[in-house]
């Protein structure tokens, strides 16, 4: 992975909250979740979008969000709402918004547009902190351009696989958003591409929604698939999906202890000029240490 000086934020669970619902926004602020995105896009009808901006601003300014990352999902750059969404939210919430999530980009120019607009607003308002950018990859064009999107601007922190719109964009035959049988895993190829691009650019890769919130086992299985290929979290569309995501995307304490032990063993061997050693019947070398270092980095971020 490329070295990154981006803010390190937890994204094991990203909760979607319709920006029109004061009740759900209030509930979201009370939950122990890494990240909440207040939605101005698909969960808000066109006629309600302008009003939802103020509802979100009031929630960001008025509620105690604790350590939760406060994100706002805005409409895409082809719509008449995108620029007003970003301007209204940043001017209204200022330092109380941490990141903006851009929807449906096609190529890097969409990200560069949002990046420039945010830079102008930060300058105009004299903001003390930089607002982060996250973006969905949910169009086939974006998947083809995922590498250039990942490297589009320094502000970008995270790529999210939006499988609902992506399935539609590719013309896939699916009925339930997030369920991915094929015969194998229908979303393996796009998820994998996205994760490679994200890692190479020093970004977090996050998995999108699973609509059937009364199927916790199906949801957990999708979390495990995402974790295995290098993603750091998954969306929750309902509060009941937060706990399973936190469970899957947090390493077990014994795995963390083992990782720290393996790295210590490797460092000791390295100091003695030895490249690979036998530790309890398993080989430990530089590559092993790197894999274990990922677990330790996650544990440090979580505070384990």
Is the CB of 100 or the CB of 269 nearer to ligand COA? 100
Q: For residue 16, state whether it binds ligand COA (rule: CB under 6 A).
A: yes
Q: For residue 76, state whether it binds Mg ion (rule: CB under 5 A).
A: no
Tell me which of Mg ion, ligand COA, none is bound by residue 39, counting a contact when its beta carbon lies within the kind-specific cut-off of 5 to 8 angstroms: ligand COA
Is the CB of 162 or the CB of 178 nearer to Mg ion? 162
Token pair 């350590």 is found at 67
Least CB distance to ligand COA at residue 58 (A): 16
Least CB distance to ligand COA at residue 245 (A): 13
Q: Which of 18, 19, 132, 162 binds Mg ion (CB under 5 A)?
A: 162
Helix (H) or strand (E) holding 101, with range, is strand 99-102
Give the DSSP letter string of 164-219.
Answer: HHHHHHHT---SSTT--BSSSBTTHHHHHHHHHHHHHTT-EEEE-----TT-HHHH
Backbone φ and ψ for 14, nearest 5 degrees, come out as -115, 110
Q: How many residues are there in the chain? A: 304
Q: Which of 29, 33, 39, 100 binds ligand COA (CB under 6 A)?
A: 39
The answer to whether the beta carbons of residues 135 and 101 sit under 8 Å apart is yes
Least CB distance to ligand COA at residue 26 (A): 8
Q: Which of 18, 105, 190, 251 binds ligand COA (CB under 6 A)?
A: 18
3-state secondary structure of 252: coil
Tell me which of Mg ion, ligand COA, none is bound by residue 165, counting a contact when its beta carbon lies within the kind-specific cut-off of 5 to 8 angstroms: Mg ion
Q: Which residues contact 255 (CB under 8 A, 6 or more apart)?
A: 295
Q: Which of 237, 242, 265, 289 binds ligand COA (CB under 6 A)?
A: 237
């Amino acid at each position: 992975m490329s070295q990154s000086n981006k803010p390190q934020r937890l994204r094991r669970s990203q909760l979607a909250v319709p920006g029109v619902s004061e009740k759900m926004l209030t509930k979201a602020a009370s939950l122990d979740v890494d990240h909440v995105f207040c939605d101005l896009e698909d969960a808000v009808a066109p006629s309600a979008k302008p009003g939802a901006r103020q509802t979100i601003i009031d929630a960001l300014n008025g509620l105690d969000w604790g350590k939760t990352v406060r994100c706002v999902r805005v409409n895409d750059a082809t719509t008449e709402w995108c620029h007003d969404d970003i301007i209204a939210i940043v001017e209204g919430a200022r330092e109380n918004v941490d990141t903006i999530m851009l929807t449906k980009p096609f190529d890097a120019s969409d990200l560069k547009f949002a990046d420039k607009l945010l830079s102008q607003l930060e300058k105009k308002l004299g903001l003390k902190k930089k607002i982060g950018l996250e973006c969905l990859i949910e169009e086939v064009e974006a998947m083809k351009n995922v590498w250039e999107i990942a490297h589009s601007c320094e502000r970008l922190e995270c790529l999210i696989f939006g499988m609902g719109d992506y399935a539609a964009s590719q013309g896939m035959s699916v009925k339930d958003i997030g369920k991915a049988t094929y015969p194998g895993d229908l979303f393996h190829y796009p998820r994998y591409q996205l994760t490679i691009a994200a890692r190479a650019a020093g970004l977090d890769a996050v998995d999108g929604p699973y609509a059937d919130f009364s199927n916790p086992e199906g949801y957990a299985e999708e979390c495990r698939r995402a974790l295995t290929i290098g993603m750091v979290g998954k969306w929750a569309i309902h509060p009941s999906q937060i706990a399973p995501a936190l469970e899957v995307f947090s390493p077990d304490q014994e795995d963390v202890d083992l990782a720290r032990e393996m790295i210590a063993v490797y460092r000791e061997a390295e100091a003695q000029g030895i490249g690979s050693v036998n530790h309890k019947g398993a080989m430990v070398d530089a590559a092993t240490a790197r894999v274990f270092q990922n677990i330790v980095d996650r544990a440090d971020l979580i505070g384990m």
